[in-house]
Structure 1
Amino acid sequence: MVGGKLSKSIWLRYSFVCLLTLVIAAIGFAATQHLSTLDTRELARTQANIEVATSYYVDDSNQLSASQVREREAGFISSEPNDIPFELGDSAYWVRFSLSNQTLDDAALVLHIDNSMLTELAAYQYSSVVNSPLAALNQGTLSATAFPHLNINLSAKQNIELLLKLKAGGPPNIPLVWHQAEQFKTKQALTRVLFGVVIGVLAVIGLYNLVIFNAIRDKVYLIYIGYLLAAFLVLATVNGYGYILFSPETQELLNTHSLFFHYYLLSFLVLFTLYFLKFNEDNGKLFKIGQVSVYLLICLSAIGLFIPHTERAIIFFSLVPIYYAYSICLVILKLKSEFSWARYYVVSWIPLLVGAGAQQLTLFGYIDYSFILVNAFLLAVLCEITLMSFALAERMRRHEAERIAEMSYHSGSGIPRKNVFERSLYKLMQTPDAHLHVLVIKPEHIERVALYVNDAMNTALFKRIYEKLTPLFAYNDAIEPIGMRGEKIALVAGNMLAIVVNEQKNQQALDTIVSSINTLVEEAYRIEALQIPLQANIGVASYPEHGNLPFILLNKAQMALPDAENCTGKWAVYEEFQSDNSGYRLKLAAEINAAIEQGSFELYHQPQVDLKTMRVCGSECLIRWHYDGENLSEQGFIPPTAFIPVAEDMGLINKLTRWVIKQAIAQHSVLLAQGYKHHMVSINISGKDICAEGFYEYVAAEIEAAEIAANKIVFELTESATITNNAQALEVIELLTELGVTISIDDFGTGYASMAYVSELPFKELKVDRQFVQDVGDDKKRRTIAETTVRMAKGLGLEVVAEGINSQKDENLLRQFGCDIGQGYFYAKPMAFDDYLEWLTDEVNGRSPEPLEGEFISKHSLS
């Protein structure tokens, strides 16, 4: 049904687009036909009794006067106006018209000299007296106008002869078109409307894109604005509407430098292609070739100011096909790589190529003049910039969709996230009489397994499980789709998957579904090449029995997981007073409190390395718990992911954090005493800790009691969004900063951490989350995010720490981006304090007696 509705929606949308396109095409065709009649209504066809004979003479020296040319009447060549061979060069063209009115009525005629870039235009009329001098006609209406023209009034039975001197500073062709006076007024009016539309569209689109650029700072919009400005100036000179906007002196100056603007129009076109199609992100050979070619155009535009117009034009128009071919190749290359959203931009090339080619051929006299053809480039640019605007809008829409997808899908595995699951579950809950089961799937002993693998291996495991389970649910209608692409499985935590079973559609027992899941999980439970014979624990919560909100159902399904672990079938339904309060969580909370009082927790240190000096500059303190009591069902290592959420829920987190701070400061004193004078320690705190009463006083007292410098302490703050509107918390941060403590924003790019909070709070350090760092060299999007984050942070004057560095390649890239400090398995895993001291001693390899910014890491640890 979903597929059917989607197909119908797409069919309706494309039908509407096709219909709209046909209507616009019909209107455009009708307008074109009407405009073309302005050229086909030539004088000889509308008034057969008015005869016009045309001849021309080419003055190669451009030195002859009208009288001298008159003496060379034998050199005039009879021709139709459209057949006069105007060419680039310094020659002047003399055109003679013999007009004869055979009617008994007066005739008002207009000679339209349709080239707005005339540098010489003079008109003379032969006198009726033989051998009398030529009479110069009024020059006021001849040049310095968008519509150079000559008004001629022919009396009944009158014969007159006119002599015109013509020379163009731009395109060589000078169309000479005779019109009736009323017909010419109509042509002027329609042309002004066309000019107005083009100027208005250019202005509106330019301003709109300026607003967008100011909002998102994407260079492609600035380049597009540059293209619009260059197009405006080029069209103002070639088509002459600049005379409507500027003074004649200004327009003549623009006409003189018309080719200069042509160069920049072509430059912006190439730049737009490169940035719109994202070749700048690759920074490959094609992008560098484009950059060099643009620099070449800019240089040629400057050199062109000092060489004759003819040579300038020849150079430019010989380059145009090369640059067009280069840009089209870029488009084709991206289309091959499924760059489907660039379709509007691809289509925009069609009117540009057709219009530019048609107008150039007309202006150079290769095809006959017509109103449409002489304005072809103007009309083409109008269509092109409109399509380019659509392309930019589509690009923005796709970027927004990608941004939403990044928030909705796990970057490493592509599995839908928790927020997608909760949104879809909420919609399903609105169905009348809905009866749903939420199943949370957690691989057995995943916390313990995670201790022996890195994040990439962990992600690969869940991706493999996801790929195994997807075919199982694909044709089971009882498993509801929850992803934007119809996916049925979500990653609701770092180590748990979830599905929704619709009981109204379900035709098999839940234990059958669970059994099938566990069979496939056991097949997929593999770390690299090692198959692990483990299944999954599955917790179940039902709607409406166990809650009426998605997060409540998810939480209760997770609460059922401990019970599932102890069941033969490896699954359990949430039961009040059993899954939640029967013992585990309360016992765990009690044991946490006892462990704080007895000092049973332990701090592990993971070294942090200065990426410039390659010396250890500090360590992050991480809490660990090896439980050896008897009150819990488990003994041994209990991961932070298990006890920290309980500590938060039970109000023990502030007490736990203070214990960590006390131990970290005490251990730091030991480090200082052993000669590591420049060593820093990083301690994780949350927004809840900052907001706790007396937090600052506690920290200040501990630092003072230990007699250490506060500037060697770093607080890595999570959940920064929770304190932005808390005046007391902000005051505490200010006090800590004044004390000398460095405040760092932790796990930037995930959860609450964002650039908005970085700009609002007095942070001095930013820590990029491991999911954007690990394998950064192998993932283009991850690399872009990491590089952008580092550069933004450096722009704000922050020191940048990257956690999750697992290889030399990761380290090299992050150093190239400008990252200051690295942390990850590439250097060392977290280790107990005594082990850390030993590790430092081994790695120092004979510490230098000279003061150092950090401690030396020997080469063998980096190889």
Structure 2
Amino acid sequence: NRRLLLERIELAMIQAKRKNTYGAIIFLDLDRFKMLNDSLGHHIGDELLVQVANRLRKAVREEDMPTRLGGDEFVILINTNADAIDDATNNALNVAEKVMQALNQPYLLKNNEHYFSASMGITLFSGTCREEATELIQQADTAMYQSKEKGRNTISFFDQSMQEAADKYLQLENSLRIAVDQQQFVLYYQPQVDLDGNILSAEALIRWMHPEKGKISPLDFIPIAEETGLILPIGSWVLQEACRQVKEWHRQGLGLSHVAVNVSSRQFQQQDFVDQVKQAIQDADISPSSLMIELTESILIDNVLVTAAKMQLLTELGISISIDDFGTGYSSLAYLTRFPLSQLKVDQSFVRHINQNSNDAVIVETILAMAKNLGLNVIAEGVETEQQLNFLVEKGCTIFQGYYFGHPAVADEFGRHR
């Protein structure tokens, strides 16, 4: 199939040159196909692919060529019959939308109706195009992933800026692998304070010290680390380094109640995660109560029984657990009462506008009241102004974190200002 498709694309490029017209390639990938395979079995997945292929043949025109590349990936070669790029774009989009409409209809699988969607990417080519057929397919594939990032079940066009973004991603991924091998990371610590501004604890925040680009924000590399699995060695290093620093501060006489460490979903889901935490504490020779694990709300809904059991093991060791960015995800009283939590962390997106946005103010006030009734501590992050602080104090918040009290700093600097 692939060889025939490549031959057809090359032929279409020759025709486009001869007629001075545009051709197009649609790359589509079924959304959440893996979930279907995992839940209903591969034989049902195969049946879905057969139905999808039949719908594609009916949805496209006779002169278009739909091909299954493999798995749940399909490519459609289109002759737009247009000599202007705007017309070619519209013609390709019309075909894609017709395909999408066909694929969005219910599928009968095991006598039950199921709904599936597809993410699509489109690239155009003319007779003057210098790319090979394989490069054109890759362009459409890149555009398809842009559709995935937009939320799936949508159509995106390839352009040079998209390619540049993909190149930047690959370059960053390669650099990140080197950073893991060469330990180019540093932990910064941001103070967490009480009503009087006394430092109670700190949050460990990773920074990547790139030898050429300087300090790189975690916002730029953590998503890539998550997707590639590099988050596992990075997360392990953060845990060990934070515990080592706790021991050093104790030796210097700095009496922090604990250091909070962010743990990703992928890291937490490792079978031996509790053992990793236990080992880091033992290696550093610190009390388990000196460590707090910060988890995001999304982790709570991933395999609830296993998650609750793992969290229980951590609390039995003496480790506190905090829910980070609370209020942005799957907040539910039912979830909160099922897990052995110590603290909720109000997300800074709510704190930022509490003095201007009444909805944010109500959300923060509700979280504080709910936590009090559940016997949980609350820390507000992102406190930057006195007005924000006054509002939080008035509503009963007693622990704070943000630029108003201190910026993240390396361990030595943090210790000096302590």
Residue 761, structure 1, aligned to residue 347, structure 2: no
Match of 1:554 among 128, 135, 150: 150
Q: Which residue number corresponds to residue 191 of structure 2?
A: 607
**1:678 to 1:628, Cα distance in 2 relative to 1, 3 A:** closer
**1:757 to 1:504, Cα distance in 2 relative to 1, 3 A:** farther
Query: What CA deviation, in whole Å up to 9, does each residue of 1:199-225 have, x standing for no partner?
Result: xxxxxxxxxxxxxxxxxxxxxxxxxxx
**1:722 to 1:642, Cα distance in 2 relative to 1, 3 A:** same
| Contact kept? 2:121, 2:147, Cα under 8 Å | no
| Contact kept? 1:748, 1:754, Cα under 8 Å | no
Q: Which residue number corresponds to residue 675 of structure 1?
A: 253
Supply the AA of the counterpart residue of 1:554: K
Residue 652, structure 1, aligned to residue 248, structure 2: no
Q: Which residue number corresponds to residue 274 of structure 2?
A: 696
Residue 799, structure 1, aligned to residue 377, structure 2: yes
Residue 734, structure 1, aligned to residue 312, structure 2: yes
**1:543 to 1:747, Cα distance in 2 relative to 1, 3 A:** farther
Supply the AA of the counterpart residue of 1:713: L
Matches within 5 A, 1:355-370: none
Q: Which residue number corresponds to residue 241 of structure 2?
A: 663
Deviation, 1:779, is 2.1
Q: Which residue number corresponds to residue 403 of structure 1?
A: none
> What SS does the corresponding residue of 1:814 show, helix, strand or coil?
helix
**Within 2, Cα distance between the matches of 1:596 and 1:682?**
22
Deviation, 1:787, is 0.4
Query: What CA deviation, in whole Å up to 9, does each residue of 1:257-287 have, x standing for no partner?
Result: xxxxxxxxxxxxxxxxxxxxxxxxxxxxxxx
**1:541 to 1:647, Cα distance in 2 relative to 1, 3 A:** same
Supply the AA of the counterpart residue of 1:623: I
Deviation, 1:650, is 0.7
Q: Which residue number corresponds to residue 209 of structure 2?
A: 626
Greater strand content:
2
> What SS does the corresponding residue of 2:192 show, helix, strand or coil?
strand
**Within 1, Cα distance between the matches of 2:269 and 2:344?**
21
Query: What CA deviation, in whole Å up to 9, does each residue of 1:568-626 have, x standing for no partner?
Result: xxx72545xx754xx54344333323323322101011110112x43110111110012
Supply the AA of the counterpart residue of 1:572: Q
Matches within 5 A, 1:92-131: none
| Contact kept? 1:766, 1:798, Cα under 8 Å | yes
**Within 2, Cα distance between the matches of 1:743 and 1:579?**
37
Query: What CA deviation, in whole Å up to 9, does each residue of 1:137-177 have, x standing for no partner?
Result: xxxxxxxxxxxxxxxxxxxxxxxxxxxxxxxxxxxxxxxxx
Q: Provide the identity percentage.
A: 35
Deviation, 1:659, is 0.6
Deviation, 1:784, is 0.9
**Within 2, Cα distance between the matches of 1:727 and 1:551?**
33
**Within 1, Cα distance between the matches of 2:207 and 2:149?**
30
**Within 2, Cα distance between the matches of 1:549 and 1:585?**
13
Residue 717, structure 1, aligned to residue 295, structure 2: yes
Matches within 5 A, 1:451-530: 503=90
Deviation, 1:551, is 4.2
**Within 1, Cα distance between the matches of 2:122 and 2:395?**
48
**1:739 to 1:542, Cα distance in 2 relative to 1, 3 A:** same
> What SS does the corresponding residue of 1:777 show, helix, strand or coil?
coil
Supply the AA of the counterpart residue of 2:349: Q
**Within 2, Cα distance between the matches of 1:769 and 1:586?**
31
Count of matched residue pairs: 287
RMSD over aligned Cα atoms: 3.2
Supply the AA of the counterpart residue of 1:648: E
Q: Which residue number corresponds to residue 589 of structure 1?
A: 173
Q: Which residue number corresponds to residue 160 of structure 2?
A: 572
> What SS does the corresponding residue of 1:789 show, helix, strand or coil?
helix
**Within 2, Cα distance between the matches of 1:553 and 1:697?**
34
| Contact kept? 2:121, 2:146, Cα under 8 Å | no
Structure 1: 5+ residue stretches without partners: 1-431, 434-501, 507-539, 565-570, 630-634, 841-863
Q: Which residue number corresponds to residue 15 of structure 2?
A: none
Supply the AA of the counterpart residue of 2:160: A
Structure 2: 5+ residue stretches without partners: 1-58, 61-88, 94-119, 125-139
> What SS does the corresponding residue of 1:778 show, helix, strand or coil?
coil
Deviation, 1:759, is 2.3
Deviation, 1:753, is 4.7
**Within 1, Cα distance between the matches of 2:219 and 2:268?**
21
Deviation, 1:776, is 1.4
Q: Which residue number corresponds to residue 48 of structure 2?
A: none
> What SS does the corresponding residue of 1:716 show, helix, strand or coil?
strand
| Contact kept? 1:543, 1:553, Cα under 8 Å | no
Deviation, 1:785, is 0.8
| Contact kept? 2:121, 2:144, Cα under 8 Å | no
Deviation, 1:503, is 3.6
Supply the AA of the counterpart residue of 1:617: L
| Contact kept? 2:202, 2:256, Cα under 8 Å | no
Supply the AA of the counterpart residue of 2:361: R
Q: TM-score, normalised by structure 1?
A: 0.31
Q: Which residue number corresponds to residue 229 of structure 1?
A: none
**Within 2, Cα distance between the matches of 1:794 and 1:705?**
36
Deviation, 1:706, is 1.5
| Contact kept? 2:202, 2:260, Cα under 8 Å | yes
**Within 2, Cα distance between the matches of 1:652 and 1:801?**
29
Match of 1:810 among 373, 381, 388: 388
**1:660 to 1:642, Cα distance in 2 relative to 1, 3 A:** same
**1:555 to 1:700, Cα distance in 2 relative to 1, 3 A:** same
Q: Which residue number corresponds to residue 747 of structure 1?
A: 325
Residue 771, structure 1, aligned to residue 359, structure 2: no
**Within 2, Cα distance between the matches of 1:796 and 1:753?**
14
Using CA pairs below 8 Å that are at least 6 residues apart, which structure has the higher relative contact order?
Answer: 2
**Within 2, Cα distance between the matches of 1:713 and 1:550?**
39
**Within 2, Cα distance between the matches of 1:673 and 1:732?**
31
**Within 2, Cα distance between the matches of 1:820 and 1:680?**
16
**Within 1, Cα distance between the matches of 2:263 and 2:242?**
12
| Contact kept? 1:720, 1:757, Cα under 8 Å | no
Supply the AA of the counterpart residue of 1:638: I
Query: What CA deviation, in whole Å up to 9, does each residue of 1:82-107 have, x standing for no partner?
Result: xxxxxxxxxxxxxxxxxxxxxxxxxx
Deviation, 1:550, is 7.7
Deviation, 1:836, is 1.1
**Within 2, Cα distance between the matches of 1:717 and 1:692?**
14
| Contact kept? 1:687, 1:723, Cα under 8 Å | no
**Within 2, Cα distance between the matches of 1:505 and 1:691?**
42
| Contact kept? 1:720, 1:745, Cα under 8 Å | no
**Within 1, Cα distance between the matches of 2:350 and 2:206?**
23
Match of 2:284 among 684, 706, 711: 706
Supply the AA of the counterpart residue of 1:811: L
**Within 1, Cα distance between the matches of 2:384 and 2:322?**
22
| Contact kept? 2:354, 2:360, Cα under 8 Å | yes
Deviation, 1:810, is 1.1
Matches within 5 A, 1:435-446: none
| Contact kept? 1:747, 1:769, Cα under 8 Å | yes
**Within 2, Cα distance between the matches of 1:676 and 1:686?**
28
> What SS does the corresponding residue of 2:160 show, helix, strand or coil?
strand
**1:595 to 1:772, Cα distance in 2 relative to 1, 3 A:** same
| Contact kept? 2:121, 2:145, Cα under 8 Å | no
Residue 616, structure 1, aligned to residue 203, structure 2: no
Deviation, 1:768, is 0.5
